[in-house]
Amino acid sequence: MKPFIAHIVSNLRLTMRERTVFFFNYAFPLFFFFMFATLGKAKETNSIAAVLTSVLTIGLLGNGFFGGGLRAISERENGILRRYKVAPPGALPILVSGLVVGVLQYLPVVILMLFLSIAQYGMAWPANWISFFTFVIIANFAMRSMGGIIAAVANSMAESQIIIQCLYFPMMLLSGATVPISILPEWAQNLVQFIPSTHMVSGLQGILLKQESLLDNWKSVAALIITTLACTLISLKVFRWEKGEKMPPRAKAWVLAVLAPFFVIGAWNLQSKENLNKTKMLDRELARKQSILIKNARIFTSTGTVIEGGSVLIRNGRIAQIITGTSPEGKTLNALEIEAAGKTLLPGLIDAHIHLGAPGGIYEDASKYQDLKLNEQRLKAYLYSGITSVRSTGDWVDTMLDLRKRERSGEVLTSELYAVGPLFSAAGGHPTQMLKYLPQNMQALGESQFVRLPKSEAEAHQMVRELKIKGVDGIKAVLESGTEKSPMARLDLKILRAICAEAKSQGLKSVVHTSKAVDVQDAFEAGADGVEHGSANDMLPDDLLKKMAASGFYYDPTLSVFDSLRMIGDQDFARLDDSLLQQAVPLDLVKSTRKLMTLQAANLEYAVDMNRVKANLKRVFDAGVRLVTGTDAGNPLVFHGPTIQYELELWVAAGIPADRALIAATRTSAELLGQGSRIGTIEVGKDANLLLVDGDPVKDIKSLSRISAVLLKGERIGRNSLLKDEDE
């Protein structure tokens, strides 16, 4: 042990005398630290954790390749190593001392930059600080040992510099330390998964931003440890004491050999996309931590108050302050500014009834109906349109839950998704008739994903409990008897009561698809929390409306889907010319729908009187029933995207005051989702899911389509790039 300690002490004393050590280990990282923090506006964007990660990674690379590799070669060429040749322990103490001294040199600057990040830029002390320092030490050992391999196989200082530059700059530029991985082309994103420093960046960011532990980054930690051991053993085998000893050219292959663990991880990541997904999540986390001041806006709070000329401060994804009157400058609050004079800020809109698996139009290419990737694109179209939350009320349940998981993790940037379903119905009832359009070999799978057909009350209770365990956000049942031409089996009311009772006991809201006044009454009396579609065929009785209003019952009229039937019958496709719709919906779908939508009104099995539908809505509103906004998007001519804008235009045309319609599309719909404490109003402490539009939608409801900015959890959405993949 004494030779090891002696070498460490001697090595540390020698290195601290060198000016280059001071420059590369202290001055160089600090220069980059302040430069990156200034250029990245670390205070305003709250991105100091990313700055710290970048600078630490650059420092680890420099400490390993230049501090470890070049210095070892210098000592050999200057004859220093020859003096140790006769020492009994051999080369091992020299190699180990190089690793330990590298850590001892680098830890002070890590502590200094961590202190500056906290004191100067407001970063929180790492929750897993032991994991943080341990990861830095392990990474330092790995980079120093790689520097040792370079020193072992290079025959001269000039040769070592070529090898170092071939490794150092790719690791610095392509790892995410200096250039975000997300902006690289796809081939480059795949390539960087094989680079060791990529895993240092993702590991440090995960620990600092998401409070991850070493165990959460076990693959990267294992690769760094294996690299350290492999490099040390190989360096020991090929160690050279004197300048005159030469290595054959094939020895350079050892440099690639020690990267083998990262080749394995890279191959795994190419297949699993695990590290790329983690990078996206970390980018999302950073984007949602920035501070933003929206200045001088008209603020429709959805609480019953409108602030004329106010400002909203957002920090860490939440509304931190609402300022009335003269707004301070963003720089005084360490916040980025969005000037909003002449604009209206309101909570993000909510569509409480969509079917994400259906396109809303007609494809010429039939294969697109089975393309699950389109679900994500449709969900992005909602966010593009300022609809920050949507509720799927009848799709393949596992597909929706998987997409919801990816959305909530930040892996994909879309509107918030809530999954309600599968649909409880009777055998032969709606929507089982849709399953016949599936290929024969997929019908059984479709039934398990799309519907539940309980035969008894006990079975209904069990099915609801199973869906609760599965993780759905709500329960939907169907009361639909069809038409004279196409009658359908109707769900037994005893079973419906069992469904609603079990949903309530499980903390899930239950809604019922209805089409007639008797359906609405039966759903209400069965204990449901609300109805979808309401009554399009007959008027709701006054006594029922009074009971619904008194109980807090939710009513979702879905005027859009009824108006789509009118459009088809009248061959009125003016809706397809809407500017926002054409921006959000793929143009090929719009064009093919216009071309193929040729049904005539006489051919419709089910048509509605829009005047009666609107009159029913007005009576429901006048009675004080709680209204929510859903559109039944996915049905023909109800495209995914700017659905709520058109829905509210129909409401206003039916006589609903615009301000009350806006409250239904925000606060009340958030309450139906069970998210009223988090979204739906502009109040301090709530998530910053916000929509900024030109003009005043209370005076002109069409202003909702003139979108200036959309924010989701405090992240300002780059709308131009959001649908880029779809355009391509």
**How far is Cα 258 from Cα 57, in angstroms, rounded to an integer?**
19
Res. 600: pLDDT tops 60: no
Res. 79: pLDDT tops 90: no
pLDDT the model gives residue 456: 97
pLDDT the model gives residue 613: 92
pLDDT the model gives residue 115: 94
Average pLDDT estimate for 220-229:
86
Average pLDDT estimate for 647-671:
98
pLDDT the model gives residue 66: 77
Average pLDDT estimate for 602-612:
69
Q: Are strands 474-478 and 690-694 parallel, antiparallel or unpaired?
A: unpaired
DSSP 265-287: HHHHHHHH-HHHHHHHHHHHHHH
386-407 burial, b for 16+ CB within 10 Å, e for fewer? bbbbbbbbbbbbebbbebbebb
Res. 386: pLDDT tops 90: yes
Q: What is the pLDDT confidence band of residue 96, given thresholds at 50, 70 and 90?
A: confident
Q: Which of 105-114, 363-372, 640-649 has the lowest mean pLDDT?
A: 363-372
Res. 12: pLDDT tops 70: no
Q: What is the pLDDT confidence band of residue 728, given thresholds at 50, 70 and 90?
A: very low
Q: What is the pLDDT confidence band of residue 179, given thresholds at 50, 70 and 90?
A: confident
Q: Which residue has the higher pLDDT, 728 or 68?
A: 68
Res. 86: pLDDT tops 60: no
* Cβ neighbour number for residue 665 with a 10 Å cutoff: 31
The separation between CA 436 and the C-alpha centre of its own chain, rounded to angstroms, equals: 35
**Domain limits of the chain?**
2-286, 347-727
Q: What is the pLDDT confidence band of residue 602, given thresholds at 50, 70 and 90?
A: very low
* Domain 347-727, classified CATH 3.20.20.140, yes or no: yes
Return the SS3 of 19. Answer: helix
Q: What is the pLDDT confidence band of residue 186, given thresholds at 50, 70 and 90?
A: confident
The separation between CA 220 and the C-alpha centre of its own chain, rounded to angstroms, equals: 23
**H/E segment holding residue 511:** strand 510-513
Range among 161-170, 232-241, 533-542 with highest mean pLDDT value: 533-542
**How far is Cα 304 from Cα 284, in angstroms, rounded to an integer?**
32
pLDDT the model gives residue 189: 84
pLDDT the model gives residue 73: 63
Q: Model confidence over 675-703: pLDDT tens digits?
A: 999 999 999 999 999 999 999 999 999 99
Average pLDDT estimate for 344-360:
97
The separation between CA 656 and the C-alpha centre of its own chain, rounded to angstroms, equals: 35
Range among 137-146, 151-160, 406-415 with highest mean pLDDT value: 406-415
Res. 472: pLDDT tops 60: yes
Q: Phi/psi at 75 (nearest 5 deg)?
A: -65, -35
Q: What is the mean pLDDT of the chain?
A: 87
Cross-strand bridge partners of residue 707: 693
42-61 burial, b for 16+ CB within 10 Å, e for fewer? bbbbbbbbbbbbbbbbbbbb
Res. 529: pLDDT tops 60: yes
Res. 18: pLDDT tops 70: no
% of the chain with per-residue pLDDT over 90: 55
